[in-house]
Amino acid sequence: MVKFCFVALALLVACCAVQAAPSYDDVEAAWENFQAHYPQKKDASPQKIAKRKANFIKAHAMIEKHNKIKSVTFQMEHNEFSAMDDDEKKQYNGARPPPHHEGSKFINVDESAVSTRQLPASLDYRTDKCLASVKNQGSCGSCWAFTAITPLEFAQCKKTSTPVVLSEQQLVDCDTSNGGCNGGWYTSAWYYLKNGCAKQSLYTYTATKNTCKYTSAMSAATVSSYGSVISNSPASMQSALQKYGPLAVAITVVNSFYSYKNGVYNDVACDNLGVNHGVVVVGWGSLNGIPYWIARNSWGSSWGSSGYILMQRGVNKCSIEKHPAVIVSVV
């Protein structure tokens, strides 16, 4: 009887172990499905494909393990990052804080009295006519340029009541205070854009750094003034969002971020590390009692929730509340 119970227990443990980990067949099916959506390059060598598959299997295990945890507040999924290695993924970041901000050129947006002000439960600019469609920076570390341009597009549209789509490529090619595809910072970009920003249709995006082609005849918007928002003050960020529009912020991207699907992102792995990516906060709200920021990414509309991510609000998640800044006015 004892032997029977032991064998039964062993079979039960083995069964649970099989259910806890994806089978080889499940991984193969997922890999085939992935390749159908993200085909390998025709000239890819067997070694390159094998490396891609190894990266995918690692990502698949992470995603499966995470999504099976009932208590998680966000879900993960496969996307173009699933087959990339760490160095390739880093090319999609690019926030590089300068050693010194622009001093007197950097206006402080003081919203210190906001704690006593009534704020709405939610705000969402995603459907505002002044917010252009989500863009894709590609494998160029130009997130800083996209983070700089979105608030400018919004501010210009609010002034003229006419939507406008502006050029990130101008910043990549022409802004010598930043590093093109090697990274930069949004407030440095705004300082450069005091001399004008081209329409995207006149200066299209290539995801590579080229010779500067900007002329004043291309200009469709000009930054007049911009400001920092009090660091680590969610209420100040909310007030600035209401008053001026979308906020430029810097965050720390870690592995789980690349595979985000939906829900409120709250991975502790990104906390208390240096920032490496720029995104734009376009609103706030709460889901299942968890307060969040709505952050607009620059990895295309197929990433995350139509190009957006909900990030936990009020706890400086991934340093999102550390470096907020906003365009105050345009010429």
pLDDT number for residue 100: 66
Note whether residue 76 is domain-resident: no
Residue 199, beta-bridge partner list: 166
Q: Is 78 a catalytic residue?
A: no
Statement to judge: residues 147 and 277 lie in one domain: yes
Please identify, among 48, 71, 94, the residue that sits at the C-terminal boundary of a domain. Answer: 71
Pick the catalytic residue: 78, 277, 318, 323? 277
Are 241 and 247 contacting, i.e. CB atoms less than 8 angstroms apart? yes
- Tell me the pLDDT tens digit for each residue of 51-68: 999 999 999 999 999 999
**CB-CB contact of 151 with 128 (8 Å):** no
Q: Which of 233, 317, 328 is nearest to 279 (CA)?
A: 317
The reply to whether 297 belongs to the active site is: yes
Same domain? For 60 and 153 the reply is: no
Residue with tokens 């227990």: 9
Per the annotation, the verdict on 277 as an active-site residue is: yes
The shares of helix, strand and coil residues in the chain, as percent rounded to the nearest 5, are 40, 20, 40
User: Tokens at residue 109, please?
Assistant: 């947006």
- pLDDT tens string 88-127: 999 999 999 987 655 434 556 655 555 546 799 999 999 9
Of 22, 50, 71, the one marking the end of a domain is 71
Q: Catalytic: which of 93, 130, 140, 143?
A: 143
Cα separation, 167 vs 165, whole angstroms: 7
Query: Of these residues, 266, 297, 318, 323, which one is catalytic?
Result: 297
CB 157 within 8 A of CB 309: no
Q: Encode pLDDT of 11-43 as tens digits.
A: 444 444 434 445 556 899 999 999 999 998 888
pTM metric for this prediction = 0.89
pLDDT of residue 18: 38
- What is the rounded distance in angstroms from the CA atom of residue 131 to the CA atom of residue 107? 24
| Dihedral sign for Cα atoms in the order 234, 237, 242, 247 | negative
Same domain, 145 and 197: yes
Q: How far is CA 23 from the centre of its chain?
A: 32
Can you read off the two tokens belonging to residue 161? 């009541």
Residues 119 and 188 in one domain: yes
At residue 17, φ and ψ (nearest 5 deg) are: -65, -40
Distance, in Å, from the CA atom of 65 to the CA atom of 46, rounded to the nearest integer, reads 28
Here the CATH number for the domain that contains residue 225 is 3.90.70.10
Contact 247, 325 (CB under 8 A): yes
